[in-house]
Structure 1
């Protein structure tokens, strides 16, 4: 778009015999479009970081409620699913944390998305992942055509020291 505007303005001012002004307008058009696109990308990145920060805070809260800090166990593994409605589909973002102090989790996670009446809508199994002790991370998301609020999960792997 910036290139089209730049060429158009240059050609317009060149016809008027003001080539130098056309060059300035062309450079201004390209710079303005680049700044606008970078601004949009920065806002999108900031929104993603905010969503990730909120998910990590929720992981901490759930660990405080359900975790077992005295033992190394599956109770110290947490998962949060954050559905994000996008025009024609919903992206289900998955965030995981390992609150164990010594044990690493290696395996897959089976996530079942449920509707408000707790009826199973679809099941997603992640690719094999490794979560080190104390690590929190975002894993690949799943897309589905509609938004549903509830979910359950099951760990399909093992904890190893």
Structure 2
């Protein structure tokens, strides 16, 4: 897990705890006014626990969905390699990219996955991805940060966001293959 992910989980849990604490204090005060302090304590503990459980449940479901998408992308990388790859030579034909768009409320995340199916050569460089509309006209171009793909390695790269969804794309390698 990367630091951004852990930081996000920690902040979501702090937020859930704070919301649970607000509910806990208000329910405790309410039951204390009724003379039922013990019930107020139970409700307070329940509020905090429920908020934390619900938030962590949402995070877990999101993680499972992300892992499923990653698994599908890696399977697609394998399939395209078997269709287009050159098993007999070490070349750029053995490098594959898959871009999966994930529609959000206000924007679309373009998740980028890359694989190096060469047996000896490492790729180091950038990937230029051109997203196209239905008429195959360029909508935008995204160039990744520098990527290093060792022989046989598959990676999920940092995604890019755009305001609309398009499913067609092309890509090209902007780097070198080295032994």
Q: Normalising by the residue count of structure 2, what TM-score does the alignment of the two structures yield? A: 0.88
| Correspondence for 1:149 | 167
Structure 1 position 106 matched with structure 2 position 124:
yes
Provide the C-alpha distance between the structure 2 equivalents of 1:29 and 1:46, rounded to a whole number of angstroms. 26
Q: Tell me which residue corresponds to 2:66.
A: 48
Alignment-derived partner of residue 11 in structure 2:
none
- What is the Cα deviation at residue 18 of structure 1? 1.8
- CA RMSD after TM alignment: 0.7
Q: How far does residue 155 in structure 1 lie from its aligned partner after superposition?
A: 0.2
- Partners of 2:24 and 2:142 lie apart in 1 by 47
C-alpha separation between the residues in 2 aligned to 1:51 and 1:27? 36
Q: Which runs of 5+ in 2 are unaligned?
A: 1-18
- Structure (1 or 2) with the greater strand fraction: 1
C-alpha displacement of 1:6: 0.5
Aligned equivalents of 1:15 and 1:99: distance in 2?
69
1:5 is paired with a residue whose SS is helix
Give the C-alpha shift of residue 40 in structure 1. 0.6
The structure in which a higher percent of residues are helix is 2
Q: What is the CA distance between 1:139 and its match in structure 2?
A: 0.3
Q: Specify the alignment match of 2:57 in structure 1.
A: 39
2:95 is the alignment partner of 1:77: yes
1:117 to 2:135 alignment: yes
1:94 to 2:115 alignment: no
Q: 2:84 maps to what in 1?
A: 66
Q: Counterpart of 2:38? A: 20
Measured after TM superposition, the shift of residue 17 of structure 1 is 1.8
Q: Distance in 2 between matches of 1:9 and 1:67?
A: 63
1:128 matched to 2:146? The reply is yes
C-alpha distance in structure 2 between counterparts of 1:124 and 1:79, whole Å: 13
Q: CA deviation at 1:19?
A: 1.4
Q: Match of 1:123, SS?
A: strand
